[in-house]
């Protein structure tokens, strides 16, 4: 691992532990129903800017850390659910920054990317659609939102669902289908043609703006705000997909590590039946199993990041990492709750929130079952290829 990444990661961890964690008790969070308010996020980001840890995975010259370097920086950013918000490594912004940095034109970077990197704006990725309308969810080929050329503009119509951070976002990436296939557009938000119908109540609560149902009605977008050409939307989605999927694993590994720290402190100071909880095998073994799962997650993330650093899309590898890590993190969070008993299900620590957030992560960026289905198809495809050879 490079010295530069280790130095950045150390500064991020110090900042999250010393500056961000105290914000977990900020009363502004308690009264806000759909994630921390933007006022609080921008307050933390100003402190991150002063500390030199804002958007730490993107270098001053605009370059991006390698994926292996990104992992050791993003993991400590996740030590608090507020950490990724504070240092600007949160989803969907981190993935959107990566995409625009890779495929955006100089003009799009200047207009949209810069305000995300600087932490001045949030973004939203508008792809998923309402299931009741037969729209795209885990299967993006079911896209119902349409885009039609009209002179030097495109006109977009449709509805989107579970759009993270749409409320309060200033940049949007919208997916729609044309006669040629999927398309991707970068747009300014808010826009009168993009209407938030409602913000959903969901199990997780770490994302500013929550998750919205959005109606898009005759949205006119200049043709030069399309990423690439008409019909290339899925190709660009693939550029974003694996790194964004893996960075989720990185951030939530940080959160699970913190939950393990809290549960360990509880078990090593709380007594029952004549001895410390940790000395009861039923408790101590759970913490030991967590140690094993945490290390396996670290290794899986590092392996997948190394694959991505070769230039591979890493589709199968990121699916394997997403399944392995999300399921392991769920086990870790569940054991932490169990070790702490009543304290584990209360809001007195972040353990119960980490449990809720990771439960949602098992669905976000592709449910475990969809990834297994995709991998099973690869197993069959590789077998048939071997038979033909």
**Do 208 and 246 belong to one domain?**
no
* CATH code of the domain in which 184 resides: 2.40.110.10
**Do 208 and 271 belong to one domain?**
no
DSSP string, 140-187: GGG---EEEEETTEEEEEEEEEEEET-TT-SEEEEEEE-SSSEEEEEE
In this prediction, residues 315-340 reach a mean pLDDT of 97
Domain contains 116: no
Cβ-based neighbours of 18, under 8 Å, separated by 6 or more = none
**Do 72 and 165 belong to one domain?**
no
**Do 156 and 201 belong to one domain?**
yes
Rounded Cα–Cα distance for residues 86 and 136 (Å): 31
**Do 188 and 157 belong to one domain?**
yes
In this prediction, residues 311-340 reach a mean pLDDT of 97
DSSP state of 51: H
Domain contains 102: no
Strand, helix or coil at 188?
A: strand
Domain contains 282: yes
% residues pLDDT > 70 (the chain): 99
Domain contains 250: yes
* CATH code of the domain in which 305 resides: 1.20.140.10
Rounded Cα–Cα distance for residues 202 and 33 (Å): 10
Domain contains 119: no
**Do 128 and 206 belong to one domain?**
yes
Q: Residue 225 pLDDT > 70, yes or no?
A: yes
Question: Please, what is the average pLDDT of the chain?
Answer: 95
Domain contains 294: yes
| pLDDT computed for residue 86 by the predictor | 98
H helix runs in the chain, sequence order = 3-15, 27-30, 38-51, 67-77, 83-87, 93-103, 106-108, 114-117, 233-267, 281-309, 315-340, 351-361, 368-388
The count of domains in the chain is 3
Task: Convert the pLDDT of each residue in 150-196 to its tens digit.
Answer: 999 999 999 999 999 999 999 999 999 999 999 999 999 999 999 99
Q: Which of 209, 228, 247 is the last residue of a domain?
A: 228
Q: Which of 228, 262, 285 is the last residue of a domain?
A: 228
Identify whether the C-beta of residue 125 lies closer than 8 Å to the C-beta of residue 96.
Answer: yes
Angle between helices 351-361 and 233-267 (to 10 degrees): 150
Cut 0.85: pTM above it: yes
| pLDDT computed for residue 32 by the predictor | 64
**Do 241 and 380 belong to one domain?**
yes
In this prediction, residues 263-285 reach a mean pLDDT of 97
Q: Residue 306 pLDDT > 90, yes or no?
A: yes
Q: What is the domain extent for residue 46?
A: 3-90
% residues pLDDT > 90 (the chain): 89
**Do 134 and 183 belong to one domain?**
yes
Q: Which of 189, 209, 228 is the last residue of a domain?
A: 228
**Which among 73, 102, 57 has a CA at the least distance from the CA of 241?**
102
Query: Which two three-digit tokens encode residue 102?
Result: 């890779």
Task: Convert the pLDDT of each residue in 60-115 to its tens digit.
Answer: 888 899 999 999 999 999 999 999 999 999 999 999 999 999 999 999 999 999 99
Q: Residue 199 — pLDDT band, cuts 50, 70, 90?
A: very high
**Do 314 and 183 belong to one domain?**
no
DSSP string, 258-287: HHHHHHHHHHTT-EETTEEGGGSHHHHHHH
Domain contains 111: no
**Do 253 and 211 belong to one domain?**
no
**Do 64 and 139 belong to one domain?**
no
Domain contains 338: yes
| pLDDT computed for residue 53 by the predictor | 98
| pLDDT computed for residue 164 by the predictor | 95
Query: Which two three-digit tokens encode residue 16?
Result: 């999250």
**Do 53 and 31 belong to one domain?**
yes
Task: Convert the pLDDT of each residue in 122-147 to its tens digit.
Answer: 999 999 999 888 888 888 889 999 99
Q: Residue 31 — pLDDT band, cuts 50, 70, 90?
A: low
């Amino acid at each position: 691992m490079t010295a530069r990444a280790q130095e950045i990661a150390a500064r991020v961890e110090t900042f999250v532990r010393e500056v961000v964690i105290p914000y977990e008790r900020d009363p502004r969070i308690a009264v806000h129903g759909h994630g921390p308010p933007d006022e609080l996020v921008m307050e933390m980001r100003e402190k991150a800017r002063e500390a030199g840890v804002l958007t730490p995975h993107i270098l001053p010259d605009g370059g991006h850390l390698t994926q292996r370097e990104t992992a050791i920086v993003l993991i400590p950013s996740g030590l608090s659910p507020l950490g990724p918000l504070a240092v600007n490594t949160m989803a969907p912004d981190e993935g959107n920054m990566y995409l625009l940095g890779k495929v955006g034109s100089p003009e799009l970077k200047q207009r949209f990317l810069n305000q995300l990197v600087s932490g001045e704006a949030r973004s939203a990725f508008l792809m998923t659609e309402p299931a009741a309308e037969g729209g795209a969810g885990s299967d993006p080929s079911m896209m119902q939102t349409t885009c039609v050329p009209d002179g030097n503009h495109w006109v977009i119509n449709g509805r989107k669902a579970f759009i993270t951070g749409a409320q309060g976002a200033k940049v949007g990436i919208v997916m729609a289908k044309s006669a040629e296939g999927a398309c991707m557009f970068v747009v300014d938000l808010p826009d009168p043609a993009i209407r938030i119908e409602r913000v959903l109540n969901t199990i997780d609560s770490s994302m500013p703006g929550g998750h919205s149902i959005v109606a898009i009605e005759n949205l006119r977008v200049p043709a030069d705000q399309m990423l690439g050409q008409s019909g290339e939307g899925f190709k660009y989605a693939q550029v974003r997909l694996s790194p964004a999927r893996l960075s989720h694993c990185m951030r939530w590994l940080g959160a699970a590590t913190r939950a393990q720290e809290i549960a360990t402190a509880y078990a090593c100071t709380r007594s029952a039946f004549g001895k410390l909880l940790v000395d009861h095998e039923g408790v101590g073994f759970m913490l030991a199993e967590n140690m094993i799962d945490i290390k396996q997650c670290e290794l899986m993330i590092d392996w997948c990041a190394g694959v991505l650093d070769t230039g591979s899309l890493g589709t199968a590898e990121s699916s394997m990492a997403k399944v392995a890590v999300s399921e392991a993190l769920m086990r870790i969070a569940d054991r932490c709750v169990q070790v702490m008993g009543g304290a584990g299900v209360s809001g007195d620590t972040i353990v119960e929130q980490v449990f809720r957030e990771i439960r949602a992560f098992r669905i976000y960026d592709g449910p475990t079952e969809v990834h297994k289905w995709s991998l099973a198809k690869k197993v069959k495809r590789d077998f048939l290829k071997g038979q033909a050879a």
